Structure 1
Amino acid sequence: MENNAWLVISAHRSEYPEPITFVKGTPLRVGERYEGEEDWQDWFFCQCAGQQGGWVPAQLIEWLDKGLARAREDYTARELNVQPGDQLVGHRMINGWIWCDNAEGTASGWVPLANLRERREP
C-alpha cells in the first residue's frame, strides 16, 4: 500500500502531544501490550531515554532480554489530527493504523484505519 488516497470518515484527535520518537538502534524498555476495544494488535508501550513513553508496533521492536529491546528502524508515534472530509495520502499501514500526509503536504502522522475509507479515482 504505497501512496493510496484516503478520505476521512470520522474525526481523530491525538491524545499524545509529545509522541515518542527514536532512530534505528535506540535502546527501548518495553512495557504493557495494548489491550483495547479497537482491536489494534501488537502495540507495546515503550520508553527510551529523555522523553515520555509511547506506543510502538511490535514489528519495529528487536527484543533483547526481559523487557529490553532496541529499535529496528526510525519511528515517531506522531498522530495526525483529522476531520471528516479531509483527504489524505497513505504511505504505510501497520496494525490498524496508516501513516498519512494531509492533502496539502503540510502535516503527517498516524491515523486509525477505522477512521478512513479508501478513495477510488475515476
Structure 2
Amino acid sequence: MQYKVVKDYTDIPEHPIIVTQGEQLTVVEESDPQGDWPNWVLCRGRGKNGWVPKQILTIKNDVVTVQSDYRAVEHSLSVGEILVAEFELNGWIWCEKSSDKGVMGWSPLNHLARV
C-alpha cells in the first residue's frame, strides 16, 4: 500500500531503541489507550529509553520480556513524499520511501494519506 506525506515529521531520537527476543526491559510508562498511538510502551533497556509495541512484550509481575526483535527507527518526512508500507501497527506504518528504496523505518499515519 502506498501513502503520501501530508504533514512534515521530524524523527527526534538520535539513537533509537533496538531490542531483541528474550531481552528483559523496564516499563517507564504506557501510551494513552485513547490517544493517536495506543498500545505503545516506553521501555528502558541497555541504557536507552524508547517506545516499543505492546504486542511484542510479555509483562508479568513487573518483568517485561521481548517476544520478537524490534527497531524503533523512524523516517523524517516531507510533504509530498511517497511511502510504500509493509505493514501497519498502532497508528504507524513500517515502510520505505519510494525515493530511498531498501531503507525501512516507521512513519506516523496521522501525517499520511493513502494514495
- TM-score, with normalisation over the residues of structure 2? 0.90
Query: Segments of 4+ in structure 1 off by > 3 A?
Result: 35-38
Aligned to 2:97: 102
Backbone CA RMSD of aligned residues: 1.7
Query: Per the alignment, in what secondary structure is the counterpart of residue 53 of structure 1?
Result: strand
Corresponding residue for 2:107?
Answer: 111
TM-score (norm 1): 0.85
- Which runs of 5 or more structure 2 residues have no equivalent in the other structure? none
Pick aligned residue for 1:47 from 32, 35, 44: 44
Deviation of residue 97 (structure 1)? 0.7
Q: What code does the residue aligned with 1:6 have?
A: Y
Q: How many pairs are equivalent?
A: 114
Asked if 1:25 corresponds to 2:27, the answer is no
Task: Supply the distance in 1 between the matched residues of 2:102 and 2:36 (Cα, whole angstroms).
Answer: 30
Contact 1:80 1:107 in 2 (8 A): no
- Deviation readout 1:42-90 (Å, 9 max, x if unpaired): 11111112x4110011101111322x21111110111111101101111
- What residue in structure 1 maps to residue 68 of structure 2? 73
| Structure 2 Cα separation of the partners of residues 114 and 24 of structure 1 | 29
Please report how far the alpha carbon of residue 107 of structure 1 lies from its aligned counterpart in structure 2 after TM superposition: 2.5
